[in-house]
Structure 1
Amino acid sequence: MPSNTHTVMVTGASGYIAGWIVKYLLEAGHTVHATVRDPNKAKSVDHLKRIADAAPGTLKLFKADLLDAQSFDAPMQGCDILMHTASPFVLEGFTDANEALVRPAVEGTRNVLNAANRCDTLKRVVLTSSVASVYGDATDMKGKSAFTEADWNTTSSVDHNPYQYSKVAAEREAWKIHDGQEGSAESRWDLVTINPGMVYGPSLTNASNSASIGTLLDMGRGKLKTGVPALEYGMVDVREVAQAHLLGAFKPEAEGRYILVSQSVSMLDIAGILRKQFGKQYPFPMMKVPKPVVWAVGPFMGPVTRKFISRNVGYPLRFENSRSKTLGVNYRPAADTLKDHFDQVLEDGLVRRR
């Protein structure tokens, strides 16, 4: 693939990860066809316009919806790279997990990639997947030293970890469409998937709709000051995730899946890092809550089931990230990521500065 500038379509361009992808693409001089639900909604697109005004690249906004099969044809025209980041992100407040999460994720991926099949210029697709596509529960690591790109989530379902299920279902659909491309024996476009863990780091907007910011807010506001469950996450900085998308797009040798995890951290690790950075005046938790207590009260405090508690609390979680390093990803320390993210939380007034 030539090293000159490209025309790149980014779906869900107003999202947390996608914003950084668009920024890096524009700063590198590429043309970006950015799809959003409403190009006229200032809250969603003004930060992208500001980035474009200061960068050598060109930004073009398009209206598109995951469940509108025809809405991706226009933004796809003339693109040689597609980065599909758009996916429903709903962790609670729904009654039908299939309609809220699974169907939009799978059908949206199908609609976008079917449009890719109709675009003669397209050469590569980079899909934003997740480690949720690699594993469902920490107990899935039984018999392994770490999860790798060879692993697939086979334990999640619409009824158990539906968000995780939506991610693995969408990625499997992407590989199915890639492998079934019409025409010659060789695929016309190839597929790379980026599978990040829990994504932390600053947002390009005042508040990002991410699971990680919820954890920081709960810790900073004192909701978790009595303690946290013994839960571990594979963590990664949003800026590394975005850079991995560009590496996956423009490196000719990039292929297949890439786990993006800098390191595994527990909730108590996160609290300890924040306390060291910001001091004891914030109510960061200092102890673990015993698993029987989590079992008793967890389901009353949010979208957490006892099945999830039994399969995740108290279990280690490890990921092999050597493949992403070979691709060219350089991970920054977790302490730097968390400091930058909590600094933004304070700057935006989401937690009172002390």
Structure 2
Amino acid sequence: MVTGASGYIAGWIVRYLLEAGHTVHATVRDPHKAASVDHLHAIADVTPGTLKLFKADLLDADSFDAPMAGCDVLMHTASPFVLDGFTDANEALVRPAVEGTRNVLNAANRCETLKRVVLTSSVASVYGDATDMKGKSAFTEADWNTTSTVDHNPYQYSKVAAEREAWKIHDAQTGEPGSRWDLVTINPGMVYGPSLTNASHSASIGTLLDMGRGKLRSGVPDLVYGMVDVREVAQAHLLGAFTTEAEGRYILVSESVSMLDIAASLRRQFGKQYPFPMMKVPKPVVWAVGPFMGPVTRKFISRNVGYPLRFDNRRSQTLGVTYRPVDDTLRDHFEQVLEDGLVRRR
């Protein structure tokens, strides 16, 4: 079973499962909404697996029992992804993430066939701000985000709160030995790479659009991200599900890149005719104007702009994840942006 199956990461998970011949119970908010599910049907039509769509909602505690019936693996990817436009962060982000996880995993407790849960978490559950790395050479799976709150980095807070709830429910299981489900969490960085549908949304597509359309031509903040390809994230879910010895948390980051690194990679591959930024904006300028340009607070700017960010991805490699070059990920993603007409080809 895959929750949130119409999402960016989930689409690739469903594709790989169907290509491997599995029967996939996919939950979506509306199985009849063509824009959300047509690409899943198209994949199912040309793969050996079987796709069954189910209607479910994170806040409907009874909506996950039917789709989970008979499944041995649950991949819980559904979580609210809202970065701005809300007035109540708890209602928009935190409550749906935590209660949704609770509702899905309570259904898992009622499913006698279930053996493993793979949770789509995030490096946002590992750290909140770049300054959290003080005294560390890199973030590892032993680290937890303790600095985000509902008022500071609420999206990050929703991810760590949901993952902690998952581990709490996992650890509280009762039953005969062997009848319990075990838990694996996949903690990706900023996810780039082609989407299987232009109906899904991600923070990375927003960055590429802003760069390709010239919104950032005057420069970008000195911000560093842990980047990973969406196809590696999806494969990690399958490895986490079907590798017997898989357990615990897995950071998924191919390498750390700055916004200027991203722009430089795109310029090398697509030419100077696109208005990719060529310089960093000084931190005092970002601090002064950032809050007026989007959902960025001065507290976030002070704790993230100008600081290094590193992740230890060795544990994911022991699971079997192989990372492609960042240039390839960015090339494939921006090529899709051009093909979809979101940025005019030049």
TM range, smaller chain: over 0.9
- Residues 1-44 of structure 1: CA distance to partner in whole angstroms, max 9, x if unpaired? xxxxxxxx000000000000000000000000000000000000
What is the rounded CA distance, in whole Å, between the counterparts of 1:171 and 1:198 in structure 2?
Answer: 17
The answer for the alignment partner of 2:252 in structure 1 is 260
Conservation of the 8 A alpha-carbon contact between 1:193 and 1:257: yes
Matched, 1:92 2:84: yes
What is the rounded CA distance, in whole Å, between the counterparts of 1:28 and 1:208 in structure 2?
Answer: 23
Say which SS state the counterpart of residue 289 (structure 2) adopts: helix
Match of residue 342, structure 1, among 291, 309, 334: 334
Conservation of the 8 A alpha-carbon contact between 2:126 and 2:141: yes
The answer for the alignment partner of 2:34 in structure 1 is 42
What is the rounded CA distance, in whole Å, between the counterparts of 1:51 and 1:30 in structure 2?
Answer: 13
1:50-129 aligned within 5 A: 50-129=42-121
1:1-354 aligned within 5 A: 9-184=1-176, 188-354=180-346
Say which SS state the counterpart of residue 126 (structure 1) adopts: strand
CA RMSD of aligned residues (A): 0.7
Structure 1 position 183, deviation (Å) = 1.7
Conservation of the 8 A alpha-carbon contact between 1:181 and 1:187: no
Structure 1 position 184, deviation (Å) = 3.1
Conservation of the 8 A alpha-carbon contact between 1:138 and 1:312: yes
Question: Aligned residues, how many?
Answer: 346
What is the rounded CA distance, in whole Å, between the counterparts of 1:49 and 1:81 in structure 2?
Answer: 21
What is the rounded CA distance, in whole Å, between the counterparts of 1:183 and 1:125 in structure 2?
Answer: 17
Report the residue type matching 1:118 in the other structure: R
- Residues 115-170 of structure 1: CA distance to partner in whole angstroms, max 9, x if unpaired? 00000000000000000000000000000000000000000000000000000000
Say which SS state the counterpart of residue 219 (structure 2) adopts: coil
What is the rounded CA distance, in whole Å, between the counterparts of 1:241 and 1:301 in structure 2?
Answer: 30
The answer for the alignment partner of 1:6 in structure 2 is none
Report the residue type matching 1:282 in the other structure: Y
What is the rounded CA distance, in whole Å, between the counterparts of 1:155 and 1:186 in structure 2?
Answer: 37
What is the rounded CA distance, in whole Å, between the counterparts of 2:113 and 2:51 in structure 1?
Answer: 19
Report the residue type matching 2:236 in the other structure: A
Distance change (3 Å), C-alpha of 1:134 and 1:169? same
- Residues 237-295 of structure 1: CA distance to partner in whole angstroms, max 9, x if unpaired? 00000000000000001000000000000000000000000000000000000000000
Conservation of the 8 A alpha-carbon contact between 1:179 and 1:187: no
Structure 1 position 207, deviation (Å) = 4.5
What is the rounded CA distance, in whole Å, between the counterparts of 1:317 and 1:124 in structure 2?
Answer: 32
What is the rounded CA distance, in whole Å, between the counterparts of 2:141 and 2:200 in structure 1?
Answer: 28
5+ unaligned residues in a row in structure 1: which ranges? 1-8
What is the rounded CA distance, in whole Å, between the counterparts of 2:281 and 2:142 in structure 1?
Answer: 34
Say which SS state the counterpart of residue 6 (structure 2) adopts: coil
Structure 1 position 185, deviation (Å) = 5.7
What is the rounded CA distance, in whole Å, between the counterparts of 1:282 and 1:16 in structure 2?
Answer: 26
Say which SS state the counterpart of residue 67 (structure 2) adopts: helix
What is the rounded CA distance, in whole Å, between the counterparts of 1:188 and 1:101 in structure 2?
Answer: 29
5+ unaligned residues in a row in structure 2: which ranges? none
Structure 1 position 182, deviation (Å) = 1.9
- After TM superposition, the score normalised by the length of structure 2 is 0.99
Conservation of the 8 A alpha-carbon contact between 2:36 and 2:199: no
Report the residue type matching 2:330 in the other structure: L
- Residues 290-310 of structure 1: CA distance to partner in whole angstroms, max 9, x if unpaired? 000000000000000000000
Report the residue type matching 1:334 in the other structure: V
Conservation of the 8 A alpha-carbon contact between 2:115 and 2:179: no
- After TM superposition, the score normalised by the length of structure 1 is 0.97
The answer for the alignment partner of 1:4 in structure 2 is none
Structure 1 position 186, deviation (Å) = 6.1
What is the rounded CA distance, in whole Å, between the counterparts of 1:234 and 1:267 in structure 2?
Answer: 11
Structure 1 position 206, deviation (Å) = 2.2
Report the residue type matching 1:348 in the other structure: D
